[in-house]
Amino acid sequence: MYDEMYRLLYLIRRAEEEVARIYPSDKIKSPVHLSIGQEAVAVGACLPLKLDDVIFMSYRSHASYLAKGGDIKQMFAELYGKATGSAKGKGGSMHLIDTSHNIMGASAVVGTSIANSIGYAYGLKLQRKDSVVVSFFGDGAVDEGVFHESMNWAQLKQLPIIFICENNGYAIHTHASERQSNTDIWQRAASYNMTAERIENNDVLTIYEKVQAAAEQIRNGQSGPFFFECMTYRWKEHVGPNEDFALGYRSESEAQPWQEQDQVERIGNLLGDTVRRQIEDDVETVIRDAIAFAESSPWPDPDDLYTHVFKDS
């Protein structure tokens, strides 16, 4: 398991480092919300899933997209605004999708991944399917009214869904303590009588174990939904490729403990040198090929502006 876990962690880290490197060149045509530092949540939550399981994502979605098996060439092409992108170059970083891997899309609107995911989970239940839905969202999304409505509905209908709150402590630049009288988000979900808990320290192995157990219970018809508040930390600015400590809303000393317990390094250190080097070499090749694919792909045809839209007949 460690080799596959490390491959995904390293793939996400290096892919986003390349996004950060390329972004100042203006080749990437959309804003980017990087998950550097938060990879463990996506990998821990997605690695236990099967192909038929479904995920919905927030706009900070590169990590969950890749962890669920999303096509990295289409991801880079989408960031470049190219016709070969996952949304044909129309969606950019915040609207990745790969239905062949049951990645049902990211949304730039805060909280919408929650409502969309419970609707899909309700459909699966009505069809008596044994697939599991995983809904990713940030701690800022729990301030939206749709969060409470969705938690209530999910528990009321006993939906086959696992909620993953990626709590990096900040809604853009505002710390949770300045927005929430009770910063224990898992307790809000627990108040609707669903199984809920907090997972500390960005711990990829604990996240994996908890999600795997929850998914198996749902598939066996024993219970659902589940809620995991996963404590994590983003290393880069809210949107963009840079650091933002100079803005004053957070400090380097706050980030240091999270960086010292980097889960990419933690899992990599569990592997032998030969295995680790082979994984890293393979990933570097995959990323180079994806960037080359994006750069050589064509721009969308102007007529594509009029496709995939609703209009009067």
For 103-135, how does the pLDDT look when each residue is reduced to its tens digit (9 = 90+)? 998 999 999 999 999 999 999 999 999 999 999
pLDDT at 312 over 70: no
How far is residue 290 CA from its own chain's centroid? 19
> Which of 213, 186, 279 has the alpha carbon at shortest distance from 44?
213
Mean pLDDT of 25-30: 93
Contact, 209 vs 202, CB < 8 A?
no
Among 153, 12, 137, CA closest to 75: 12
* Distance from C-alpha of 243 to C-alpha of 81, rounded to nearest angstrom: 25
CB atoms within 10 A of CB 44: 29
Residue 49 falls within a domain, yes or no?
Answer: yes
Task: Give the pLDDT of residue 61.
Answer: 96
Quick check: is 303 in a domain? no
Domain that holds residue 127: 2-297
Residue 304 in any domain: the answer is no
Could you tell me the CATH number of the domain that includes residue 113?
Answer: 3.40.50.970
Q: What pLDDT does 260 receive?
A: 96
Q: Tell whether the model's pLDDT for residue 232 goes beyond 90.
A: yes
Domain annotation covers residue 305: no
Residue 306 lies in a domain: no
pLDDT at 231: 98
User: Is 244 inside a domain boundary?
Assistant: yes
* Higher pLDDT, residue 124 or 1: 124
The verdict on residue 313 lying in a domain is no
Number of domains in the chain: 1
